Every structure is written in structure tokens, then in C-alpha cells.
Amino acid sequence: MSTTRDFFSIQGARETYNEVKKAYKAFGKEDNLSMTEDDAPHDSTRKNREAMYAFFQKHLNLPGNPMDEEVEFLTEEELKITETGQVSTSPGGKTVFDINKAEAQTLIQNLENSRKDLSKHLQLVRHSARQLSGYIHPDRTPGSIFVGRYQHEGFSVERYILNGEGECVIPLILTIPDRCEKHPVIIYIHSQGKEAKKEDIEWLTRKGFAVLAPDLTGTGETGGAYTAESPYNPWYNTWFGSILIGRSILGIQAGDIVRIIRYLESRDDLDSNNIAAVAWGKMCPALIHAATFDSTICRIALMEPLISYGSIVMNRYYNPGLVSSIVAGALTSYDLPDITACIAPRKLLMINIADQSNNEASSELIEKEMGITRSAYAIAGCKENLIIKNRVTEKCIEELLSSWLE
């Protein structure tokens, strides 16, 4: 049962039906499979409902007319099986959150025990993060298409399309100062893609950096035709799609970032030994993973990063937009502070760390969750390379970034 204007592809539904029909034909049971579709948005339409009634009448030998009929519905009170009408509020009832929290508590305690041998633990984290995220390491420099160049006072803006994973592409802009020298590079990553934070990109360019801003998979031009007012956030569908293939969108985006690094290394006008990266919000976990899997990035700045996966699963209410930053099953082996610890001893700046509600995390929560990251930097003998600052104003962010870039 499908509709042609659903946010699920009608072409995909038709192709799936034709593929499945081959299996039914192989068993000589082609009549056991049928498909109906209506010209409508995401909805249960009368045409499709009546096709469903007819399907069950045929295959269950049920009498009656398959047409929709007016019926008298049971009242809300008549429908109640429990006193409240909800299993979760009945005696002994549990919510999905209750079940998840109990399991997560065990997993988090296991992590605490594993962290006691930090060196061995971080080796396991690097391996597990690759496996669980579905990260596939790019094995070559990606091909590129030069789309155009725009001249501005003091710098130019170049547009490219890189070959991504499979048939996917990575649209990007690259700003380059006019100075004749090899420029240090900053990869600037935002969930709204390359068109976000243009003022920041120009500011960094005027400080002498070449700045590459990409549309990672699921962002910018690759994010789908959704508006801010739409009830269907494209991140959900992208995340669900990655789960269906046994991977995470985060792992795929980490691969995009490493492809970008390979591309930067291929350019003679850029200093591939001086590549830094900045990520905002829900893109921070992808950057952390990429920096763990590839050590080329020498400095990492995380703006408003999620503090941990544990903070989401241990709280009943959280910002659902953060789900796209999650690696399914991660807590069986690591959490975000573990993967962040793997970045030591490289320079790491974390500004305005966010909690599960995407609000500024409390000092107590930061102290609790970031302990392993602080320990990793202390053991590496470079505590000064880890800077964590909260309650930072926009003006102070520029000052911190300037210091971090020196």
C-alpha cells in the first residue's frame, strides 16, 4: 500500500514490489502478492483501505463488502483494558525508557570498569568505533569536478563536487586567500552544510586560512527538500536509512571527512601538514570519529558538541534531533568522551558543551562525563592541549578560536 506523494519514494515502492514478485513467481504463488497505490500524501486513503479489505477477504475467505462503511466507534472508556488505558501507568508497567535505562546502566558500568586500564581501553574503542559506526576507510584520492570560482576582495571562493561513497557526491566550497603561499587549511562542518556560517568562514579566510566547507551526506544539497516548518526532519529519514544497511550516517559522514582530507593532500597550494577542523552541534560526533580514524587533522574545535550518548539514554526527555548523531550499539563499547579521548595529544577545543536537551551542560555533568578525556590528555603529558569552555559568548568564541589556531 503506497501513495505517490509520500515522503517515502513511490519509485522505491514500485521497484521493491517488482523485485519481490520474482520470488513469489519462483514459488508459483504470484496471486499471493499485490500492490495498491493512490495519488495522495502520507496517508491511509479510501482507495488503499478498500484494497486492503478486499485482500483480507480474498485470502482469509471472509464474506462482506470491501467498501468503506459508516460504523459506530467504541467510546474511549469502552476501549480501556487497564484502569488508565495505558500499560505504562498500570501496576508493574514499564516504559521503553525504563527498559533502556536499566540496560544502559549496566553498559555504562562496564565502560567505567574498562576505563581503569586506559591504554587498552582506548585501543578497543578505536576498533569498536570503526565496526559499530560502519565506517569504511577511503582507499584513494576522490575525483573532483571544478564547478566555478568567484573573486572577492582578498580571497577567492571555489566550488567543487567530490566523489563520495558509491554514487554519492560531496558538494563543497573552498575559500583561498590571495597570498602566494601554501595555506594552512580549516575544514568547517555544519549541519546546514556549506552555506551556513558564511561570516565565520570569511573571517577565518582573512586570517590566512584556506577554508573548506562541505555538504556531508545528509546535509546541504544532499539533505533533501525539507523546510524548517516541515514536521518531517530529513535527519530522521537519513538516519533510518543508514540503520537499514547496518551502518550509521555518522560513520558515512566520517568517511566523507577523510575523503576531503585526501583531496586537500592532493593540492599543491595547500599545506596538508597543517589541517584543522571545526564542527558545530550534531556534526561534532562525525568529526570526532573521523579524527580518531585519521590522524591527519592536527587541531579539532567542537562547538556546542553533545556531551555523551549516555546522557540521552539515561534521561526520559531529550532533543530528538540529536538521534542522527548516534551510533547504534555504541554504549556496548564506548561513549563520546571515550572517542574524544582518542584524539589526545592533538589540540582539542570544546566550547559550550550541550546536554541531552541540546542545552548548555551543567558543570557537574561536564566534570562527570569528561573525566576520561581529561585523563587521556594528562597521561599524554599535554593537559594544555585540551581546552573546555562553557558559557562562552559569540564575541569570546572568536578570541578562543584565534588562540586555538596559533
**Residue 151 gets which letter from DSSP?**
E
pLDDT score, position 228: 47
For residue 224, name the pLDDT band (cuts at 50, 70, 90).
low
Tens-digit pLDDT profile for residues 314-325: 999 999 888 888
Cα of 165 vs its chain's centroid, Å: 16
Q: Which residues pair with 146 in a beta bridge?
A: 160
Cell digits of residue 183:
595555506
Structural fold of domain 144-405:
Rossmann fold (3.40.50)
Residue spans of the domains in the chain: they are 2-71, 144-405
Give the full edge-to-edge strand order of the sheet including 297-303. 144-152, 155-163, 169-177, 210-214, 183-189, 270-280, 297-303, 347-351, 386-389
Cell digits of residue 8:
517515502
pLDDT score, position 260: 97
Mean pLDDT, rounded, for 26-30: 97
pLDDT score, position 87: 81
Q: Which residues pair with 172 in a beta bridge?
A: 160, 214
Tens-digit pLDDT profile for residues 344-391: 999 999 999 999 999 999 999 999 999 999 999 999 999 999 999 998
CA distance 247 to 257: 16
Tens-digit pLDDT profile for residues 51-96: 999 999 999 999 999 999 989 999 999 998 888 888 888 777 788 8
Q: Confirm if 12 and 4 have CB atoms less than 8 A apart.
A: no
Mean pLDDT, rounded, for 270-291: 96
For residue 229, name the pLDDT band (cuts at 50, 70, 90).
very low
User: Residue 61, Cβ neighbours under 10 Å: how many?
Assistant: 7
Q: Which range has the worst mean pLDDT, 82-96, 164-178, 186-200, 246-260?
A: 82-96
Which residues, including other chains, have CB under 8 Å from residue 206's CB and lie 6 or more apart? 154, 155, 177
For the chain, the average pLDDT equals 92
**Angle at 227 (CA atoms; ends 226, 233), nearest 5 degrees:** 60
Q: Confirm if 311 and 355 have CB atoms less than 8 A apart.
A: yes
